[in-house]
Chain A
Amino acid sequence: MSKKERKIEYQIDSDFILRKKKSIKKELLKKDNLIEKNVAILGGSTTSEIKNILEIFLLDNGINPNFYESQYNKYYEDALFGNEELDKFNPDIVYIHTSNKNIVAFPELGSSEEEITTLLKNEVKRYKSIWSSLSRFNCAIIQNNFEYTVDRSLGNLDCYDIHGKTHFINQLNNEFSKGAREIKSLYINDINYLSSYIGLKNWFDRSLWYQAKYALSMGSIPELAFNISKIIGAIFGRTKKCLVLDLDNTCWGGVIGDDGLDGIYIGIETAIAESFTSFQKYAKELKQRGITLAVCSKNDFKNAREGFEHPDSVLKFDDFTSFKANWDPKYENIVDIAKEINIGTDALVFIDDNPAERDIVSSQVPSVVVPNVGNDVIHFIDHIDRNGYFEPTSLLADDINRNEYYEGNKKRSEDESTFKSYDEFLVSLSMIAEIKSFSSMYLDRITQLINKTNQFNLTTKRYTAGEIERMSSSNEYIKIYGKLTDKYGDNGLIAATIGRIEDNQCHIDLWLMSCRVLKRDMEFAMLDELVRQCKEKDISEIVGYFYKTAKNNIVSDLYDKFGFRLRSKDNEDTIWNLNISHYTNENKFIRVQND
């Protein structure tokens, strides 16, 4: 079944999903490469159908969940005091499904300002104790904020008088947001937004509440589950990285090759022009927060480029990291774009107003996401936004700068050709690396890198922020990160290695690097530092593991290149070891600063 037939992406068909959930699930379980995750649902109301539908959306995202479901309204008890089943379950994700029905006490009309402040504090305190208790699992916590109540006996005053329910909920939600900014592993599931998007009157169903204690309508459950799945997907690195755009009738109205620069619609002079401008603005916002942009268009390069010289064009030629405008089939160009940017084709989202082009790309390169956007630009933003393709878990300085690295990469590849040898090129880069043990300042970035790196990754082990934090303060691990700067700029933190120490051996549980620094010998610099730290701890042997996945073929021979000896082989998974007593440093091109 295609996405379209399954109706489980924007616009999702709730009735269809609720009725066909069993057959949809059966179909999705046939997918390859599903990863298993333990998801605990702690509910403040009934969660049965939420669990069933969430399972479908997670499967569609490549995640096969095991569930723990708390007894009815036992979210607080389970979180604070646990129980044998939950403790054994050891969740990767805890989802706390609370709603305004769980607010213990709203302000009363006679309450003083002080009393209301106390009410608010007590309510927030309950959740803070939940979040801090749950830190025992080192897992990600997803917490609903609060939706507004449908009834508001104070009318419009409800939102600004301190006795109003709406006012109280707004304050609570602010406190939740603060909490999530402070606690790294806490993510807010914004049902306040979601219920407004769907409409509060559709969101809540009084009859269903009285009958079965569901805090939202049946029809809203798929939207809720879809939203949760976007957060979970982002936590496990399912977020897309690059938006690929067609040009004519996608970035501007009209056909640049026929209509010329003066003939295309862009700007604010007409309604049509404005609709394209809005779309360009949205793409520009994505770019500003680290999403890479590319063009894939059937056009003469010169014409295509000229389109972005239009004075009203929000996007400029330089905004695109890869720009393919030619007459080759688009699926070939798309594959080239992925190669050029150095990401997998499954990190691309392709937007084109032409259904034939969409079909051919999605049939030839099925891993590319090609939403069925129709042919009217007015709907394009919704397809990108509502599907959460680019859902971030946080905004890191590294994300915002990432595009600069990629652009720097382009310049670097241009330079390569003018050197006599590759070594000479590497020397010219004047590379300086910082390779040190994990420090708290970088834990966010390290966690992010670990959970989204697929290609240069020997074991593809994923860790939560809590686990990383624990290892970084433990003596049983060698854990080093690498940052690399060169004459074109700072590449940021791009490598991480974790070695587990056991009986004078160092087992490399994790070895990964961002593909934006491929072929720079950074891996050798990392190995040098790993060996140095091993020697300090009187370790004589390093054991390396390669676990084959669909994406990490690029490192299948890494340990061989490092001079490790093959110890055993199980299908395509291999185990290697290296005696380090006579090890000499391998990196020749990078100046290293270490601990």
Chain B
Amino acid sequence: MTRSDVFRSVQDICRDIYDEDNLDIRDSNNSDVIEDWDSLDRINLVSAVEREFQIKFALDELATFQNYGSLIDLIIEKLK
């Protein structure tokens, strides 16, 4: 799975969760989008990602990612 495949899947998940077909996320480590979320939104995203990719994040991994870019890094790392 290439980075852009993972990126597209994460974007699809976000589009579903927010029910906005045109939602665009940015694959960047500068974006602060996720930090704006409340913790329960973040949980919903993480668990949807876990189910989609059939992976399970460790607690310390969950503490590290702050934005979509680092989330995607983490997914790619887990998929290896």
Residues of A within 8 A of B (CB): 15, 18-20, 22-23, 26, 46, 48-49, 207-208, 210-212, 214, 218-219
A22 touches B18 (CB 8 A): yes
Q: Decide yes or no whether B24 CB sits under 8 A from chain A.
A: no
A-B contact pairs, 22 of them (CB 8 A): A15-B48, A15-B51, A15-B52, A19-B13, A19-B16, A20-B19, A22-B18, A23-B19, A26-B19, A46-B40, A48-B40, A207-B57, A207-B59, A208-B47, A210-B59, A211-B43, A211-B59, A211-B62, A212-B40, A212-B43, A214-B43, A218-B44
Q: How far apart sit A22 and B17, CA to CA, in the bound complex (Å)? A: 7
B40 touches A18 (CB 8 A): no
A contact residues around B43 at 8 Å (CB): 208, 211-212, 214, 218
Q: Which of B19, B47, B48, B62 has the most CB of A within 10 A?
A: B47
A contact residues around B57 at 8 Å (CB): 207
Chain B contact residues: over half helix, strand or loop, or mixed?
helix
Residues of B within 8 A of A (CB): 13, 16-19, 39-40, 43-44, 47-48, 51-52, 56-59, 62
Chain A contact residues: over half helix, strand or loop, or mixed?
helix
B47 touches A218 (CB 8 A): yes
A contact residues around B52 at 8 Å (CB): 15
Known contacts A49-B40, A211-B59: does B48 contact A22 (CB below 8 Å)?
no
A18 touches B59 (CB 8 A): no
Q: How far apart sit A178 and B76, CA to CA, in the bound complex (Å)? A: 52
> Closest 10 CB pairs between A and B?
A22-B19, A218-B47, A19-B16, A212-B43, A23-B19, A48-B40, A15-B51, A20-B16, A19-B48, A207-B59
Query: How many whole Å from B72's CB to the nearest CB in chain A?
Result: 18
A18 CB contact (under 8 Å) in B18, B48, B62: B48
A contact residues around B19 at 8 Å (CB): 20, 22-23, 26
Query: How many whole Å from A193's CB to the nearest CB in chain B?
Result: 24
Query: How many whole Å from A98's CB to the nearest CB in chain B?
Result: 20
Q: How far apart sit A48 and B38, CA to CA, in the bound complex (Å)? A: 12
B contact residues around A20 at 8 Å (CB): 16, 19
Which single residue of chain B is at the shortest CB-CB distance from A218? B47
Which single residue of chain A is at the shortest CB-CB distance from B47? A218
B contact residues around A212 at 8 Å (CB): 39-40, 43
Q: How far apart sit A196 and B57, CA to CA, in the bound complex (Å)? A: 25
Query: How many whole Å from A507's CB to the nearest CB in chain B?
Result: 45
Q: How far apart sit A370 and B76, CA to CA, in the bound complex (Å)? A: 44
Q: How far apart sit A18 and B19, CA to CA, in the bound complex (Å)? A: 12
Q: How far apart sit A212 and B41, CA to CA, in the bound complex (Å)? A: 11
Which single residue of chain A is at the shortest CB-CB distance from B18? A22
Q: How far apart sit A214 and B58, CA to CA, in the bound complex (Å)? A: 17
